[in-house]
Amino acid sequence: MATCDSAYMAAAESVQQFGFASVRFYRMVGTLILTRHGQSEWNKLNLFTGWKDPALTELGEAEALKGAEELKKAGYVSQAFTSDLQRAQKTLQIQLKAIGQEGISITKDQALNERDYGELTGLNKDDARKKWGEDQVHIWRRSFDVPPPGGESLKLTADRVLPYYREHILPLVKAGKSILVTAHGNSLRSLIMDLEHMSGEEIVKTELGTGVPIVYKIDEEGKVLDKQILQ
């Protein structure tokens, strides 16, 4: 029986029961791959980046390429999603070229953008600590539901990421597709929190490596069956 993209199917069993064969049907399982973009110019300068659009550094491109080598282990990718920001788009471009799949469909959307840091955007993190105090900046960065002035908390970020995921990405995965999402630390944390049923307190402590693929196997009901970090 032919498979659907990179999805795999649970083995079918046929048993003799009451004089006729009882068949257990195949079950569709899809793949969701999450990767964080490589280092950007503003990451290198220790600046709050948010929705600003700096390019990748040479190191960032190397991180994307290293992650792509690991991504080959996940097999064929059906379709890709990324944010509206070039650091994620360039990371995705490097990934797809390395795995020989530059021709697949790519969807770009602001819903997958990084968290908006509001008045912190463009500031050096050390300078922000001097202006507002170390404790306050730590609260803005690491609390789940306290946004910086004019910006988003992780909760607000999740409020835009998760509806988009459930409407546009999850149905493809549940249909057995292999979907790659290349985005940002906080937009990906929003997804991981939902996938792994984590609390706000748990997810803010979760660190994501740059360029490192995280692979989830998800069944047709949206249940996570397996998780692998490829590094």
Binding positions for substrate: 36-43, 49-50, 87, 114-117, 125, 141-142, 185-186
In this structure, the number of other CB atoms found within 10 A of the CB of residue 87 comes to: 30
Q: How far apart are the first and last CA of the chain?
A: 32
Radius of gyration of the chain (CA): 20
Q: Looking up tokens 């003799």, which residue turns up?
A: 16
- Find out whether 203 and 192 touch, Cβ atoms under 8 Å: yes
* C-alpha–C-alpha distance, residues 32 and 74, integer Å: 10
* Distance separating alpha carbons of residues 38 and 210, to the nearest angstrom: 5
Q: CB under 8 Å to 136, separation ≥6 — which residues?
A: none
Contact 77, 179 (CB under 8 A): yes
Catalytic residues: 37, 114
* Strand boundaries in 96-189, DSSP class E: 105-108, 178-183
